[in-house]
Amino acid sequence: MIVLIFTGGTISMRHDPTVGGAVPALTGRDILALAPGIDRIADLEVDDFGAFPGPHMTVERVWALRRRIAAHLARPEVQGVVLAHGTDSLEESAYLMARSLDSEKPIVFTGAMRTSSDLGWDGPANLGAAVLTAASAEARGLGVLVVMGDRIFSALDVTKVHTHMPDAFESPGLGPLGVVDDGRVIVRRMAQSTLPILAPAAPAHPVDIVYTYEGADARLLDAARVHALGVVVAAMGRGNVPPLMAEGIGRWIADGKPVVITSRALRGRVGHTYGYEGGGRRLFEAGALFAGSRRPAQARIDLMLALGAGVDVRTVFDG
């Protein structure tokens, strides 16, 4: 049996002329009724978790979703779980599950880039490919997956790279794990992670992300320092920031709050290469943590999980 958890998102939306845009309108069973043939792939159970657009997902809501997934996976008759999710925050929810759930059973996220009112609604095809993947022997042990446009990605490295095209998801520099082709699941590479699973009672938050740009100062860092438990800096290039931002980072470190350095670039690792003021080496020597190749949103999730679990964050960020 495959459990289908519907959380909302574009896959559940229709155009509403009274508001002039797309809004959630379809339940899980409504979507299945418009996607004939999916029930022939596997026995299905529908779980309507909610009707939330991607930007409406919160830390508490995603953690409740994690508990729901874990409860389904614990049932011996359940072979895997498929989640229909808003694509705006899909990569974050999928990454959180990948970092906090340890299961051989497939957990597969999917969604849509077009609404059911659009001629090119991609929801049924994506849902069918996700169910086929979750029901396949090939998907066991691959971790949390994202299936969009017949391509199978690892939740550890996938990101949304386009605002509205159907092929909006990519794993920059890596490519998909595999494809769904003519009813077959074909796996071409494996996703490997040496990071430990982090399963706290709940994630610690707030943890903020502050973006670096030319001429940036410490105002946003100083404002976040009032309430946030930690901060992720989306730095330039290899992990470098303007001098005034470096001063703000120093104040975070002096407060004993973790600062994690990532890059605003889509590919590559941050490192201790540059020794000028604000350079990565100077930040590292001051006590900032480095996130390797993790993107800012991924580093934020890892920091929330690590703080929630009470582990030494230096064991999670050793880049």
Domain assignment present for residue 304? The answer is yes
Same domain, yes or no: 13 and 97: yes
Domain assignment present for residue 178? The answer is yes
87 annotated active-site: no
Place of tokens 């290469």: 273
Which DSSP letter does residue 34 get? T
Domain assignment present for residue 22? The answer is yes
Sign of the alpha-carbon torsion through 130, 132, 137, 138: negative
Query: How many domains does the structure of the chain reveal?
Result: 2
Domain assignment present for residue 198? The answer is no
Residue 122 identity: D
Structural domain containing residue 157: 2-187
* CATH number of domain containing 15: 3.40.50.1170
Which DSSP letter does residue 55 get? G
Catalytic residue (one of 10, 133, 159, 212): 10
Whether the bond between 76 and the residue before it is cis, its omega within 30 degrees of 0, is no
Same domain, yes or no: 169 and 229: no
Same domain, yes or no: 35 and 182: yes
The C-alpha atoms of residue 85 and residue 45 are separated, in whole angstroms, by: 17
Helix/strand/coil percentages in the chain, nearest 5:
30, 20, 50
Domain assignment present for residue 25? The answer is yes
Q: DSSP string spanning 198-224?
A: ---SS----EEEEE--TT--SHHHHHH
CB atoms closer than 10 angstroms to residue 75: 12
Note the pLDDT tens digit of each residue in 119-176.
999 999 999 999 999 999 999 999 999 999 999 999 999 999 999 999 999 999 999 9
Domain assignment present for residue 202? The answer is no
Domain assignment present for residue 200? The answer is no
The C-alpha atoms of residue 287 and residue 289 are separated, in whole angstroms, by: 7
pTM of the model: 0.97
The C-alpha atoms of residue 13 and residue 15 are separated, in whole angstroms, by: 7
Domain assignment present for residue 194? The answer is no
Place of tokens 């729901």: 68
Note the pLDDT tens digit of each residue in 220-273.
999 999 999 999 999 999 999 999 999 999 999 999 999 999 999 999 999 999
